[in-house]
Chains A and B, each alone.
Chain A
Amino acid sequence: MALRSTATAWGPVTRAFHWGMLVLFAGIVPVGYYMTDLPLGPQKLKVYALHKSVGLTLLALAVLRLAWRLGERRPALPPMPAWQARAAGAAHVLLYVLAFAIPLSGWLFNSAAGFPLQWFHLVNLPALTGPDPALKAAARELHESLVAVFLVVVGLHAAAALKHHFVDHDTTLRSMLPGRGGRP
């Protein structure tokens, strides 16, 4: 099986990016909402550390995924009204933008708060800015707002995929599902 996408289906690399990042996002977002209310203690720091490590992983995956995407073709969309094709394209662009913007805004928030940034106890990353209470508040706001936008866009993206699968009975969803499900 070729690694690259074909005219009719996404390749296994793209599918792995898609579902792998979904799993990580599905884990990190609830943790992000949960951790802020934890009482101050080492447990809280550990949960934050995990959140940051996964966030950095997602940022790295976003970089790799974008590079991969730029170097490969996209399967043709099944027949659909032009507005749907445009909406799908816009949602995909937005998801790519958010895949960068969400972790970067978290990184900025962490830097402005003056906290260390470490990837799974292995590598420390530099701060994007010095401690700055005003910027910290703004970056936090941004981080949270971007996640809210992301959840809405992901919801629409998933709803559209399910609609194509169950209502239109086309290959949109199958062309991304794990496994061999390509287009006939």
Chain B
Amino acid sequence: MRTLFTAALLLAAGTAAAAPTYPVLATQSSLSFVATQQGEKFTGVIRDFDARVSYAPEDLAHSGLEATMRLKSIDTKSPDRDQAIGTADWFDVARYPTATFRTVAMRMTPTGPVADADLTIKGRTKRIAFPFAWKATAGGATLDARVALDRLDFGLGGGEWADESMVAHRVEVVVHLTLAAPVAAAPAKPAAH
């Protein structure tokens, strides 16, 4: 009886944490930012990143988004700019090779789900609101988001580079994730008999 009770508890816990995890289809997903240099927008694509997506609208408590971005892979379609972007004035890729994103809470708003997340770039962490659009598809789901950041919050291009006529402070991050069908949740281990 006691064993059965424990098993039931485990099962309940397992169910509660059942926001399914969706594998990210890397080739159909993109992580990029749109910045403005001398009045002209350019896009930087972060080619190398991992993301982990667990989401169930009815179980936001156990939903979460995580991403690790390797900033050496930034491609702005200009080798000179890519090289400049990696220097100490900007991302300082040698000292801070990765940026991370991790949700701390998830909430539903009238316009859709919002993740409150810690974004860490160049060693500086900022709590940001990350509203996203979730769409179930035949094969899985898509997640789309567009969030504006201030580059100075992360020490990107301070000092002389703070001049907005050269590089605007506002940078938009654009996320498009294509997700495969969730991996079947591992069946709760049968309690030891």
Contacts and interface: CB of A to CB of B under 8 A. Distances in A.
Question: Which of B42, B89, B165 is most buried by chain A, counting CB atoms within 10 A of its CB?
Answer: B165
B100 interface: no
A133 interface: yes
Interface in B159-187: 160-161, 163, 165-166
B76 A114 contact: yes
Contacts of B76: 114
Contacts of B80: 113-115
Contacts, number: 48
Given A42-B166, A45-B166, A49-B38, A115 B77 contact: no
Contacts of B78: 113-115, 131
Contacts of A43: 160
A115 B39 contact: no
A115 B38 CA distance: 9
Nearest to A114: B78
Nearest to A42: B160
Contacts of A45: 38, 166
A121 interface: yes
Interface in A20-54: 40-43, 45-46, 49
B151 to A, nearest CB: 14
B37 interface: yes
B83 to A, nearest CB: 8
A46 B166 contact: yes
A40 B84 contact: yes
A181 interface: no
Question: Which of B37, B39, B77, B165 is most buried by chain A, counting CB atoms within 10 A of its CB?
Answer: B39
Given A40-B84, A131-B78, A133-B79, A116 B38 contact: yes
Given A40-B87, A43-B160, A133-B79, A118 B38 contact: yes
A130 B176 CA distance: 24
Question: Which of B38, B87, B160 is most buried by chain A, counting CB atoms within 10 A of its CB?
Answer: B38
Interface string A123-158: 010000011010000000000000000000000000
Contacts of A131: 77-79
B40 interface: yes
B132 to A, nearest CB: 30
Contacts of B165: 121
A42 B38 contact: no
Given A40-B87, A124-B38, 17 more contacts: A41-B161, A42-B160, A42-B161, A43-B160, A46-B166, A49-B38, A113-B80, A114-B42, A114-B78, A114-B79, A114-B80, A115-B37, A115-B78, A115-B80, A121-B165, A124-B39, A131-B77
